[in-house]
Chains A and B, each alone.
Chain A
Amino acid sequence: MVAREIQQQSKIIVLGKPSPHLPRWAMSTCLYGILVILTICFGLPFLWTIMTSLKTPAEIFIFPPKLLPDVVQWENYVEIWRLAPLATFFLNSVVVTVFAMIGQLLSACLVAYGFSRFRFPGRDALFVVMLGTLMLPTQVTIIPTFLLFKFLGMLDSLKPLIIPAYFGGGAFAIFLFRQFFLTIPKEFDEAAKMDGASSLWILTHIMFPLAKPAFITMAVFSFLGNWNEYFLPLIFLNSPEKYTLAIGLTYYQRVLMAGGHATEHLMMAAAMVMTLPSLLLFLVLQNYYSEGIIMSGIKG
């Protein structure tokens, strides 16, 4: 259909006017011009934040603003740790992120193995239901979940942020692992099965090593997701010593503003401290991360 349309369309064009072309140099100047503008759009807010975080309080309110600080104030990055329990927030975030990640990787991997390598009644229906949960907004289940953790006496602790990760690890993780497992030839596990290997042995000795890229990809997703999570900690945590960095930062802002001094430079420094781990992880593992996004997007 479309193919024929394309043919017709292109014939018309051949018979009609030849499409005008700009000279090559003009095209490429234009191209790089747009690229540079976009680079500024995406990069400048970032650069601006970093520069603000290295200025003195007097410098941040200079008008017209200056990008670079006169003298780089590295001590801002020391100062922020003294003004609020930022280190505690940081540590809480690390605990949540690491333990939730372990749970998510382990359980999603088991479930995906079950969905991809075994035949059982109702499998495909269950899988569709599982994928359907991808579209379910968290807010629909949040109130009973809150009440459940209240009943279990786990409010104001990191447990509600960690425990759910051990129950399947979420639709996205299961889907990603399953996609990956499907690419591993079945002959591998059948050969092992002939030799009398159990399914668990096959999972740990054949699937795990081969699925290493999927693990790394999912680890990056899991890290970014848990590190950035704002809604759930806001609901489950009350006391500042339990805060994760995400909600700790807004608490920090209130503490700083209560002082009545100009503190935007410190705020920006704290924001950078939170951003840095995500950024580093992305820069180091960006190929794995991109692969995962593409895999989920194209095949989804």
Chain B
Amino acid sequence: MVSIQTFARNWRGRNRLKMAQREALQGYLYITPWIVGFLIFILGPMLVSLFLSLTEYNIVNSPKFAGLTNYYTLAQDPLFWKSLGNTVYYAFLFVPLNIIGSLGCALLLNQKIRGRSFFRSIFFLPSVTPLVATALLWMWILQPQVGLLNYLLSLVGITPGPGWLGSPAWSKPALILMSSWGAIGGGTMLIFLAGLQGVARELQEAAEVDGAGSWTRFWRITLPMLSPTMFFNIVLGLIGAFQQFTLAYVATSLSGQQFPAGGPLYSTLFYVLNLYQQGFDYWQMGYASALAWVFLLIVLIFTFIQLGLARRWVYYESDSGSTKW
């Protein structure tokens, strides 16, 4: 009797084990495309570029080991610092502008208004416009002499208007303007809008009953509840802004044809643009790989700083699970 029971238990147990193994095997099989892709297109290249960053490599000759030379060169390269400065300038203006703008638009669209979906679509259109088209379109609008924007500025008495993409002082603001147009009404706004509709109604109403004005409710309820969404968008937004390439490349390589992209006077030479030119214009593959790895480190540092700061201002609902209304 006992032995039969044990046998049955063992048998069932083994069968279960077999099933678990089968399940695991199938699971691995299904994720195989990603694992292979990860090894070939992500992990492999990362290691190879780490190796290349320690070599001198111009594609024609085979890589020559050079130790940390590339990293020393980089630290003393004025173009590296210039491009890093430009990128930080751009990212630190663009990201807050984008977050505040998106939040503002979302708050506006969250009011009781007619034609909400019409406004939403119009706000959203620029963000589905291809970046190249955005660049071409704004190059035309920002044309200093006959462009639309400087004409509109002249109507309010600003003449002559800024030189925009042709002027070292105005080229970065011009790019911030272009990318804000394509970003403010886009994904971030939609996410905020969804977040706003998710901000607990009861919470809002309770506060209103208690006599909290709309200003107080915004700062004390809406903003804390949106802060996780905001944090997520700031982190990804900053990583995205650091990678700015297309707008700058298109807008500056065409406006002054005989000059390389990133002008005038390197004022729009962003980090990735510099990396691209070193790697694919000058074929300094080793040096460009060093730039790529330093770029990764910079992005990681900024992300970790934000993770550290997040504890101070991001509010997670579950943290205060004990405090119930």
Contact = CB atoms under 8 A, between A and B. Distances in A.
Interface of A: 1-7, 9-11, 13-14, 18-19, 31-32, 34-35, 38-39, 41-46, 48-49, 52, 60-61, 63-65, 107, 110-111, 113-115, 117-121, 123, 126, 129-130, 133, 135-148, 164, 166-169, 174, 199, 224, 227-228, 230-231, 234-235, 245-247, 249-250, 253-254, 257, 264, 267-268, 271-272, 274-275, 278-279, 281-283, 286, 290, 293-294, 297-298, 300
A167 B40 contact: yes
B2 interface: no
A272 B132 CA distance: 11
Given A65-B151, A264-B140, A294-B194, A38 B123 contact: yes
B36 to A, nearest CB: 6
A260 to B, nearest CB: 12
Contacts of B123: 38-39, 42
Contacts, number: 307
A38 to B, nearest CB: 7
A294 B186 CA distance: 11
B34 A107 contact: yes
A31 B111 contact: yes
B119 A278 contact: no
A293 B288 CA distance: 34
B41 A118 contact: no
B47 to A, nearest CB: 8
A107 B30 CA distance: 9
A140 B216 CA distance: 45
Contacts of B324: 3
B129 interface: yes
B45 interface: yes
A230 B45 contact: no
Interface string B144-179: 011010010000000000000000000000000000
Chain B interface category by residue count: 35 or more
Given A167-B34, A199-B30, 7 more contacts: A2-B220, A13-B212, A49-B140, A63-B146, A144-B46, A250-B132, A271-B137
A48 B146 CA distance: 13
Contacts of A245: 130, 132
B52 interface: yes
A111 to B, nearest CB: 4
B126 A42 contact: yes
Given A141-B41, A199-B26, A298 B198 contact: yes
B108 A119 contact: no
A44 B147 CA distance: 13
A103 to B, nearest CB: 9
Contacts of A64: 151
A250 B129 CA distance: 16
A207 B251 CA distance: 45
Interface string B210-222: 1111111000110
24 contacts: A2-B220, A18-B211, A19-B216, A39-B122, A39-B123, A43-B125, A114-B31, A130-B34, A133-B42, A136-B42, A136-B296, A139-B243, A140-B46, A143-B48, A143-B49, A147-B48, A167-B38, A168-B37, A230-B131, A231-B245, A246-B132, A274-B132, A283-B121, A293-B191
A56 to B, nearest CB: 15
A177 to B, nearest CB: 11
B22 to A, nearest CB: 9
B289 interface: yes
Contact of B140 (A19, A52, A114): A52
A107 B123 CA distance: 33
Contacts of A35: 108, 113, 119
Contact of B133 (A136, A247, A249): A249
Interface in B241-290: 242-243, 245-246, 249-250, 253-254, 257, 272, 275-276, 279-280, 285, 288-289
Given A140-B295, A230-B246, A45 B216 contact: no
Interface in B24-61: 24-31, 33-38, 40-42, 44-46, 48-49, 52
A294 B190 contact: yes
B303 interface: yes
A13 B133 contact: no
Contacts of B276: 139, 231, 234-235
B293 interface: yes
Contacts of A136: 42, 296
B45 A144 contact: yes
Contacts of A164: 37, 41
B224 interface: yes
